[in-house]
């Protein structure tokens, strides 16, 4: 069985290469359980689509309170991109845009 992910994008690159961007939105603690879940999604996507997966976790928690990596095995460390909404100053970005 395959669990449902929040959102995934299949990206077609030059040379007919593919990449999946998997985004998980977390409103609670980003700890070991969250990283294990996101890594499971990564493995399922790799198996189903036979291409690399870029994992992203968005959260409303400060990034310094989030677990950044998970050692799966001695040679495999899962390091998703963690994006904290608290670190993302949307108003500042909008004000810097030029028409």
Q: Which of 46-50, 67-71, 80-84, 86-90 has the lowest mean pLDDT?
A: 86-90
Dihedral angle sign, alpha carbons of residues 78, 71, 66, 28 = positive
User: How large a percentage of the chain has pLDDT more than 90?
Assistant: 66
Residue 63's pLDDT band (cuts 50, 70, 90) = confident
Q: What is the pLDDT of residue 28?
A: 81
pLDDT score at 1: 45
Residue 62, CA atoms < 13 Å, CB-side half-sphere: 2
Give CA separation, 81 vs 42, 57, 69, in Å. Answer: 13, 6, 9
pTM given for the model:
0.81
Which pLDDT score is estimated for 92?
A: 74
């Amino acid at each position: 069985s395959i669990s449902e992910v929040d959102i995934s994008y299949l990206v077609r690159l030059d040379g007919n290469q593919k990449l999946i961007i998997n985004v998980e939105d977390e409103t609670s603690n980003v700890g070991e359980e969250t990283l294990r879940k996101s890594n499971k999604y990564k493995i399922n996507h790799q198996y189903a689509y036979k291409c690399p997966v870029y994992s992203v976790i968005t959260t409303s928690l400060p990034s310094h309170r989030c677990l950044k990596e998970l050692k799966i095995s001695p040679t495999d460390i899962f390091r998703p991109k963690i994006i904290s909404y608290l670190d993302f100053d949307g108003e500042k970005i909008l004000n810097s845009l030029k028409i």
